[in-house]
């Protein structure tokens, strides 16, 4: 019995969650036009801005990758990110729409002196709203940004674990039902009064055996996928820890943390090498 598709996202676990204060939207100037008049580009900008505010408020949808909301990598070192933050601050301080005419009026009469079609004022204000949301996130302290991303991954990981458990449970139940039905078919074949009925029930029992084997195979694959996801979580966890170490002042405490982390990483790498060796051995001997 086939198991339906289930959600697959990645994330990392955290020991605690820091509550974020709700972020109120910044003043975006004049309100945008009616939803029907907003272009697809403006709608995309506004949607991204809303997602970033949801990320800060810890309510971002589980299917949204936080990195997709930003132009720069969220792993960017703090000194480089400061340049992007200052750029947005200066842009927002000086930005005003050049032309208020909608882009749909981009006829030869509506073009400016340089021959370029006028900017859609709704798209301009929507882009500024996106820049405000990005600046709000960039302006948070580095540990707070890391915590918010970690919270989102934790929420996603909880969904992954739930979906894995549900899918594995469904596969195991399907295997159990097939086994019970197989026993019933074999018993019916034993008690059949005619040879034809006996053959039908025996064939049905054989098909149920195939169904049971398929369900058991799906359960095994789902459990392997869960293990792979867990290993991916370990990698993401190490990336986060290293990023946090790189943003800390290089004092005695940071050195001590780095030393402990190095020892733990060596243990993790030993486990990874052992798993790889086992996998290669299994491939070599045909198992």
What is the residue extent of each domain of the chain? 40-104+117-140, 145-229
- Rounded distance, CA 141 to CA 18, Å? 13
- CB proximity list for 32: less than 8 A, separation 6 or greater: 38, 42, 46, 122, 125, 126
What was the pLDDT predicted at 287? 64
Percentage with pLDDT > 70 across the chain: 78
With 0-12 CB in 10 A as exposed, 13-18 as middle and 19+ as buried, what is 151? buried
What was the pLDDT predicted at 98? 56
- Please compute, for residue 247, the number of CA atoms within 13 A of its CA located in the half-sphere on the CB side: 21
What was the pLDDT predicted at 13? 34
What was the pLDDT predicted at 132? 94
pTM beyond 0.85, yes or no = no
Q: Which of 164, 149, 239 is nearest to 9 (CA)?
A: 164
- Rounded distance, CA 124 to CA 75, Å? 28
CA 88, 94, 97, 98 dihedral sign is negative
What was the pLDDT predicted at 96? 62
Low-confidence residues of the chain: pLDDT under 50: 1-31, 35, 100, 103, 105-106, 108-113
């Amino acid at each position: 019995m086939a198991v339906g598709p289930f959600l697959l996202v990645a994330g990392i676990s955290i020991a605690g969650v820091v509550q974020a204060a709700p972020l109120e939207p910044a003043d975006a100037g004049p309100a945008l036009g009616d939803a029907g008049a907003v272009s697809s580009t403006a709608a995309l900008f506004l949607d991204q801005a809303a997602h970033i505010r949801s990320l800060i408020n810890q309510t971002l949808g589980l299917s949204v990758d936080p990195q997709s909301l930003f132009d720069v990598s969220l792993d960017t070192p703090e000194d480089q990110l400061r340049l992007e933050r200052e750029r947005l601050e200066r842009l927002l301080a000086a930005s005003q729409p050049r032309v208020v005419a909608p882009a749909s009026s981009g006829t030869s009469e509506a073009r400016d002196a340089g021959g370029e079609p006028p900017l859609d004022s709704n798209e301009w204000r929507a882009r500024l709203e996106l820049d405000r949301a990005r600046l709000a996130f960039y302006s948070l302290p580095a540990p707070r940004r890391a915590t918010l991303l970690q919270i989102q991954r934790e929420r996603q990981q909880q969904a992954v674990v739930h979906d894995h458990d549900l899918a594995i449970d469904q596969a195991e139940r399907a295997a159990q039902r097939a086994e019970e039905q197989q026993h019933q078919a074999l018993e019916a074949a034993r008690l059949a009064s005619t040879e034809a009925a006996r053959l039908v029930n025996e064939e049905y029992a054989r098909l149920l055996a195939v169904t049971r084997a398929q369900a058991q195979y799906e359960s095994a694959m789902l459990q392997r996928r869960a293990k792979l996801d867990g290993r991916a979580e370990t990698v993401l966890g190490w990336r986060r820890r290293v990023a946090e170490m790189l943003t800390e002042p290089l004092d005695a405490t940071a050195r001590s943390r780095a030393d402990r982390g190095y020892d733990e990483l060596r243990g993790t790498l030993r486990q990874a090498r052992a798993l790889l060796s086992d996998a290669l051995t299994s491939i070599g001997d045909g198992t």
